[in-house]
Amino acid sequence: MNVVSAQEWEAARAALLVREKAHTRARDALAAERRRMPWLLVEKDYAFDGSSGRVSLLELFEGRRQLVVYRAFFEPGVHGWPDHACTGCSLMADQVADVVHLHARDTTFAYASRAPQPDIARLKARMGWTMPWFTLTDDFDADFGVDEWHGTNVFLRDGDRVFRTYFVNARGDEALGSTWSYLDLTPLGRQEDWEDSPEGVVQTPAYAWWNWHDAY
pLDDT, residue 86, reads 96
- Cα(108)–Cα(149) distance, integer angstroms: 22
pLDDT, residue 49, reads 98
Mean pLDDT of 16-27: 98
Largest CA distance in the chain: 64
Q: Is-above-0.85 flag for pTM?
A: yes
- Cα(56)–Cα(121) distance, integer angstroms: 20
Mean pLDDT of 30-36: 98
Instruction: Grade residue 17 by pLDDT with cuts at 50, 70 and 90.
Output: very high
- Cα(121)–Cα(125) distance, integer angstroms: 6
In sign, the C-alpha dihedral spanning 62, 105, 155, 169 is negative
What dotted CATH number matches 35-183?
3.40.30.10
- Cα(191)–Cα(170) distance, integer angstroms: 27
